Amino acid sequence: MLTNIRRMFRLSPKEQQMVQVRPKVSIDFHIRNELVFLLIQNFSPQAAHDVKIGFSRDLLILGDRSLKELSVFSKLRYLAPFREIEVFLDPAERFFQQFEDAETVVEVKLSFRGDARKTFKTTITHDLAIYQDLPTIINT
């Protein structure tokens, strides 16, 4: 009987590909204690390989350094399942000064491979203006 059940649930290679879990990689901005961070996250049980992250505009961090210079955006060979990488960018006040007379929309282009070597690409659009007027806690 167990053999019959196994045969019923045996999947063809094409069916296996259809149900295979793909990596779900996301990039998001986060503000904590008036500090700005960028989070690179893999929300899936499958690893992401050869993760490449590009930005539609150059963002300055730590005062005058280009965000694009960080190797995590071009040389991330492996992002483990359910892994999160947090990148400190700048204190919020200084980070948002670069947007005073500039466009606040930033497109982030992601590409990565799953374990089956299939490449996935996505674009995430962030409007950083939403963070500029959030209330903050003042420590006394």
Q: What is the pLDDT of residues 60-88, one digit of tens each?
A: 898 788 998 899 999 999 999 999 999 99
The verdict on residue 4 lying in a domain is no
* pLDDT confidence of residue 139: 54
Q: Which residues contact 42 (CB under 8 A, 6 or more apart)?
A: 23, 24, 25, 48, 79, 80, 81, 82, 83, 84
Q: Which ranges of the chain does DSSP label H, i.e. alpha helix?
A: 2-9, 13-19, 92-97, 129-132
**Quick check: 118 pLDDT over 60?**
yes
- What would the pLDDT profile of 21-58 be if each residue is shown by its tens digit? 789 999 999 999 889 999 999 999 999 999 999 999 98
* Residue 84 identity: E
The verdict on residue 14 lying in a domain is no
The verdict on residue 73 lying in a domain is yes
- What would the pLDDT profile of 77-117 be if each residue is shown by its tens digit? 999 999 999 999 999 989 998 888 788 999 999 999 998 88
The verdict on residue 98 lying in a domain is yes
The verdict on residue 8 lying in a domain is no
Total structural domains within the chain: 1
What percent of the chain has pLDDT above 70? 82
**Quick check: 8 pLDDT over 60?**
no
**CATH number for position 53:** 2.60.40
**Quick check: 2 pLDDT over 70?**
no
pTM of the model: 0.78
What are 135's two structure tokens? 């209330």
CB 67 within 8 A of CB 54: no
The verdict on residue 138 lying in a domain is no
**Average of pLDDT values for 118-126?**
95
The residue segments making up the domain with residue 39 are 22-132
